[in-house]
Every structure is written in C-alpha cells, then in structure tokens.
Amino acid sequence: MSNRRTKLIFGQVRDANLKYKLIENGDRVAVGMSGGKDSVTLLYMLNLLRQYTPLMFDLVPVYIDLGWGNETQPLQEFCRQIGMDLVIHNTNIGQIVFQVKEERHPCSLCANMRRGALHRISKELGCNKVALGHHLDDVVTTLLMSILYEGRYQVFTPKTWLSRADITVIRPLIYVEERDIKLLVESLKLPVIKNRCPADGATKRTEVAEFLNILEEQFPGARRRFLSAIEKVGPSAFWN
C-alpha cells in the first residue's frame, strides 16, 4: 500500500468500520457497483480491508444493469484482477422509468427500483449486508437537500438494518471526500464506465453538490464540520 492517497482513504474506511462496526467476521457483503468512481473505490478499499485487517468476510460485487447498454467489460476485468467475479443482474428499469411511467423527475423512482433489485439479488446470493458507495460529500449534500427541499434534518446512516428486505445496508466511505476519490481513481487508473442514462448529471442533487463546493471554497473544512455536527446530533438525524 505505497500510494499516499490509498493510505489516506484506507485509514478513513478503517476508522468508519471500527466506529460503526460496518463489517464483522463472517459477513458476506454485496458491493453495489454502478461503474462510477465511488463504487469502484469502495470495492478496492474493502478488498484492502480484507488483506490488511484480521477481519474475515466475503465480497460479492453486483452490477444492476438498467438497460442503457453501458460497457461493463472494464469493470468485469477489474473484478477478475482482484480475485472476484462481477455479478451482472439485467433489468428493464430504465425502460419502465422513462417509457412506461414517463417520469418527469425519474431519479427517485429509478433509485428505489434499483435498490430493490440490488437487495433482492444480494439475498439470493446469500449476502447479509449490502455496501454502497456514498461518501462524505453525499452525506452532507443529502442533509442540505433535506433542509432546503423538505424542511427536515435527515441524512444517510452509516449502517441500518432493513426489516422488509432482511438485509443490512452499510456505507464504508462516509469519512471519505469525493475529491480524494477522484485523485485515487486517477492515480491508480481504476476503471470508470460511462453512464448512458439520459438524466445523468442533470439533477437537483448535482446543483446542491455544486453549492457545497462553493461553501467549501469560502469556508475550508466545511464538509467535515457538517459531518461532525451530524454525528453529534446522533441517530435521530439519520434515515435510510
């Protein structure tokens, strides 16, 4: 583990895991792979967690194909290089959201259907946990969106058991900033596949994320202070 950025992010993932007991001995963890920088970093780091800690657990990378014809070959090859097979689950979610439902704001429905498919296939694969690639910026952006659009104070939780799905969702990257993920992916040349979804990048979340970037420029360290405030509020601030 010679890369400085790798050591930084690994330390943050390890700290989150120790604090929230995200992964424990005997777990079988499905890793939600979107093909983006966050999920590929997540899988890379969880594999390091297996190598450099005493924890003994299994990893199963899972890609939910929404029907956009995204090129998954680089992702499959990456998984093989680190000793895993990428599970690809084909769906028609994209068609349902855009053609059948004709959603004006498709992201919420798509996300719900994608999560449902991921939870279902993860259970079929014998997994008791699902790891998602939400990072520190995602947590803070969700907080700001909740306040601005809903008048509520709620954010992603690091770990939650979903009773209806009978599976635990974990977010090991909650201490990791997006800019560090970008630099890691560039330095290690980790594969990122293009998302052909017509709504990619054109969302309210993107606008709020850009606002967060402006805040960070004016008040360096704002992201981490937001996260610190969230943790001090405690579990009542969290949602799934």
pLDDT band at 230 (very low <50, low <70, confident <90, very high): confident
What's the whole-number average pLDDT of the chain? 88
Distance CA 200, CA 183 (A): 21
User: Which tokens sit at 100?
Assistant: 């059948």
Q: Which two tokens stand for residue 94?
A: 């994209």
Residue 23 · residue 49 · CB < 8 Å: yes
Give the mean model confidence (pLDDT) for residues 128-146: 93
Count the alpha carbons within 13 Å of 31 in the hemisphere toward its beta carbon.
27
pLDDT recorded at residue 55: 96
Q: Following CA atoms 1, 42, 33, 81 in sequence, which dihedral angle do they give, to the nearest 10 degrees?
A: 10
Domain residue limits, the chain: 4-136+153-196
Concatenated DSSP letters of 161-230: EETTTTEEEE-TTTT--HHHHHHHHHHHT---PPP--TTTT-SHHHHHHHHHHHHHHHSTTHHHHHHHHH
pLDDT tops 50 at residue 240: no
CATH assignment of 4-136+153-196, given 3.40.50.620, 3.40.50.150, 3.40.50.300, 3.40.50.1100? 3.40.50.620
Encode pLDDT of 99-125 as tens digits.
655 656 667 777 888 888 999 999 999
Q: In the β-sheet with 58-65, what is the strand arrangement from edge to edge?
A: 87-90, 58-65, 28-33, 129-131, 167-170, 159-162
Q: How confident is the model at residue 98 (pLDDT cuts 50, 70, 90)?
A: low
pLDDT score for 172? 98
Residue 13 is predicted with a pLDDT of 98
Q: What is the pLDDT of residues 160-170, one digit of tens each?
A: 899 888 899 99
